[in-house]
A and B are shown apart, each in its own frame.
Chain A
């Protein structure tokens, strides 16, 4: 087989594409890295909430109520579809519940982080990617709520997503299984 003739080294092609797509393995490592960044991000979220204002308050009240009832309660249609008026006392209680939730969540993420460190790389990447997907969906709902504070559907979605995240974190912490 004859190939192109060149007069100098500089005429050789610089680009030689790999025989197979190398991106999937890189993407998995990136997803795992993003999942690892979650704990510090979680701390930053505390500072992010005030910017969302009312949307976050309403959502947090809902989350706080649910978290106060346990990690995985059944959705309450009244709260999600027609939120009760938020009083000063209610806000204080909600703040306390929110703080408790954040504390629980942060502890879970720390535990999960430790668990991830003991997993095989492929398993760690898979679990990390799944958790990261959950985290992103929560962030997207929070952003949407910031634009549409009174949207009951978004509030309900946020609550169920937070519950889902807590469930997933608990499963990983307690069993280390890949399935989320």
Chain B
């Protein structure tokens, strides 16, 4: 028995496998990737700030927006990537040039760059989406892999753009073929799918995915966020959590619990004494690296007041020490501009009540423009780094 011949580039009759279509959808995907990369970079630098970089503490909701946009652009990129891969699918069956020549080598290298680009991007979007569910079924660390893959994607994308630049230039502008059915073969006349029709369908798909998932960052759209792993108002005191007190090994506090500040002067307070210090209110969001966010009303002591009380010089940084056991975020560092911001609190109350244990009772840090993982919970010590 003879096996059917493998498909070739010519086996795909739809005229929508066309460079103009690839250029338009590629443009959208490129935009989504660029936005996703830049917002991701911002989030990475928030958690791992290089010495040369200054991150301001305002606008207070900046991180909420950038990280919401990061997850949204990544999710929207899923339909865009699939559409792009569909458009260029016949290329997968293009014959490899033979015999070996300089031209053949260039083609092989180009193919390799595309393999890197496609595999890295598909895995990046997949791991990124599963991370928002806090599901890690793979054998490699998420954060490091996600970050390194992002740079590999950008590198492979630049190479891809360099290779395709003449084609992109030719098909950058709209042609009449976008509007009218293409006459060279039957399907569009019969199926009515013009290029413009395809663009609309893909844009619609991206919008649909966006609308059904953005509600985890935009509480007003929460009820229809059926494809989002979070609902911004579900959780103790109307706020979701990432790490529970049980996971962190924190069970509450003893009667002799003390909160200490280690600076030029040592300060030590019981919980009642903390409550007796001047209290302030901040309306600040919790914005998580997984993209969800929710605004809340916090009450507590300004960090800058505590710094002043312990005699720390202006411009001091702080190490924040939690009672939690294990995990990467048992301590965090509060840079000077965040420690000095009047909105930054050692919060004791949330939305009108004492902090729930899962939200960091008895005391937690809340600062503007910071990822949730750095809003350290169950704080029992502050150390001035000067």
- Interaction A to B: no
